Amino acid sequence: MAKTKKVPKPTVWKGNRQPVYQAVAYSPCGRYLAAAGGESPRKYNVVVWCAASGEMLDSILVDDSMATQICFHPDGKRLITAGMKPDSIAIRPITDLAKATASPPVSNYYIWDVSLSPDGKKLFVCSWDDNAYLVDLATGKSKLFPGTKGAEYGSSLFAPSGKTIAVATASEGRVCVLHATSGKCLTRFRAHDDNCQVLAFSHEGEYLATGGEGKKRTGEIAIWSTKTWKVVWKRNANRITVNGGAFSADDRLLATVGNDNVVMLFDVAEEKLVEKLPGRKNELFGAVSFSPTGLQLAAADGKLQVWDLDETYGGQ
């Protein structure tokens, strides 16, 4: 990879009414960029911007203590949002975020994380009651996912094929790969010492990236082959732990964020750190996302920060 002459600087996008740091996502078509977060004890903010101009298109406050995840539907017209409350899952039109179709409560406990299936029909939910649930988004009905009672999963990801789901048990540092229909655990392995999270599948499904805490309480990332489920490489990353990650559009790069104010860019094939993109002083990044073209990178640290990249980094 050619060495860049100058580290790009981010642009801070405006319009959010609460600090956004818990979730960031681009729409599949690349036209929209959404972020969510908040520090109010009763409300969090969901915001949608035009990805080309940075213009804020819509913003709402949601009655919940914090956002857990946002996911664009494959049709690019709807946004699925989830807070901590068990009845917080909602489908929102991009053109009118307040016009929400809410799902019934998944359980009687808070939500840790959600993951949308590639076809946009189902939502996998990790709950604070140590169980996992599958929500049918067409009906809003949910059911206990097979084999996950008492599993204590804290993060989850559907594989691009939709046939498997990767889940992580944070405190054990373990990842389990589940069959998406039967719930059968196909493989299970120790990924990190603590705070383990599944970060991202590569777009072709060849790799799974995980993040967590290493033996010396340093942030750590790992790339796993989805054919063998053996580690391809493992490296130190952000300070203390890694809590967010995304592959570039062509899967050349992996961006990570953690307990610091730096977005780290790793070359997947060369297995090395190629750039550090600094954010605001004394702030922590909580989420990161590449645009579908790879020419933009967005990360949230209370403000939404967007880098315009060239082909040196993530362009196709």
**Residues 243-259 pLDDT 10s:** 899 999 999 999 999 98
pLDDT at residue number 76: 95
Rounded CA separation 173/202 (Å): 21
pLDDT at residue number 267: 97
Rounded CA separation 311/297 (Å): 12
3-state secondary structure the chain: CCCCCCCCCCEEECCCCCCECCEEEECCCCCEEEEEECCCCCEEEEEEEECCCCCEEEEEEEECCCEEEEEECCCCCEEEEEECCCCCCEEEECCCCCCCEECCCCCCCCEEEEEECCCCCEEEEEECCCCEEEEECCCCCEEECCCCCCCCCCEEEECCCCCEEEEEECCCCEEEEEECCCCCEEEEEECCCEEEEEEEECCCCCEEEEEEECCCCCEEEEEEECCCCCEEEEEECCCCCEEEEEECCCCCEEEEEECCCEEEEEECCCCEEEEEEECCCCCCCCEEEECCCCCEEEEECECEEEEECCCCCCCC
Q: Is 23 exposed, middle or buried (0-12, 13-18, 19+ CB in 10 A)?
A: buried
The token pair that represents 233 in the structure block: 């490489």
Sign of CA dihedral 136, 35, 4, 260: negative
Query: Can you say whether residue 133 is alpha, beta or left, with left for phi > 0 and alpha for psi between -120 and 50 degrees?
Result: beta
pLDDT at residue number 311: 60
Rounded CA separation 90/103 (Å): 6
pTM of the entire predicted model: 0.94
CATH of domain 11-308: 2.130.10.10
Domain boundaries, the chain: 11-308
Per the CB < 8 A criterion, the answer to whether 172 and 179 are in contact is no
Block mean pLDDT (10 aa), the chain, length 316: 67 92 95 91 92 96 92 97 94 96 92 97 95 95 91 94 96 95 96 95 98 90 98 93 94 94 96 94 93 95 92 57
Rounded CA separation 143/52 (Å): 39
pLDDT at residue number 24: 98
Q: Is 280 exposed, middle or buried (0-12, 13-18, 19+ CB in 10 A)?
A: middle
pLDDT at residue number 2: 47
pLDDT at residue number 21: 85
Mind listing the pLDDT tens digit for each residue in 120-167?
A: 999 999 999 999 999 999 999 999 999 888 888 999 999 999 999 999
Least Cα distance to 168 among 151, 182, 181, 184 occurs for 151
Q: Is 71 exposed, middle or buried (0-12, 13-18, 19+ CB in 10 A)?
A: buried
Which amino acid is it at 26?
Y
